[in-house]
Amino acid sequence: MNLDGCFFDLDGTLCDTAPDIVACWRQTLETRGLPWECFEAGFRIGPPLEPTIRGIYPDRAQEWIAELISEFRAMYLDCGFPKTRPYPGIPELLEELRKRGVRLFVATNKSRAPSLKILRENGLLDYFEEVLTPESSTGGNQTKAELLKSALQRHGLTPSSCAMIGDTPGDIQAGKAAGMQTVGVLWGYGDPAELKNLIPSLLLHNLKTQQF
């Protein structure tokens, strides 16, 4: 696969962020006296946070949901990310792609502050020209597909010569909507069956052996 640019999802693709996310959500719910079991059944890492939480608590007011998310985000940003690590082979893959002249980007639904902090603390930030987050757009309401389209145009990249790489159907759908090639990975938090239905050919092996 000859590519000019690669756009990587963060949670479940570049880094295993689940341990710290889950710990902070458990603490947030415990502070409010909310049961973990109900939350756990509906929570998924990767999709936009607001609709995910609204789906778990459909009877709660929007203000209540916004406050809960705000409390989690403050706790998460201050946690120090002690258990968050890049997946095995990721640094080597990024280094190899950079040596080959492939331009690298991150495209995530995660807030900007923790995204930059996680990438920096794990030695990955310098690989990327830009980190696309919801805050990258005015008002913070663009979809990932819209963020990708804007970035492709801004950086002068041809969509068909770039790939969106992620672990969830949302990542793949966003890449396709932006006219990009797509790569699904199975080491993250997405459903492998859903990914296989979206992509005829998946790159699923050890990252050290991947040929992008």
Q: Distance between CA 129 and CA 179 in Å, rounded?
A: 20
**One of 4, 9, 11, 191 is an active-site residue; which one?**
9
C-beta separation of 188 from 13 below 8 A: yes
Tokens of 166: 């992620």
Are 207 and 16 contacting, i.e. CB atoms less than 8 angstroms apart?
A: no
Pair 144, 49: CB distance under 8 Å: no
Query: In angstroms, rounded to a whole number, what is the distance separating the alpha carbons of residues 62 and 76?
Result: 21
Residue 9 bears catalytic tag: yes
Q: How far is CA 44 from the centre of its chain?
A: 12
Can you list the alpha helix ranges (DSSP code H) found in 78-191?
90-99, 112-121, 144-154, 169-177
Residue 156 Rama label (left phi>0; alpha psi -120 to 50; beta): left
Catalytic residue ranges = 9
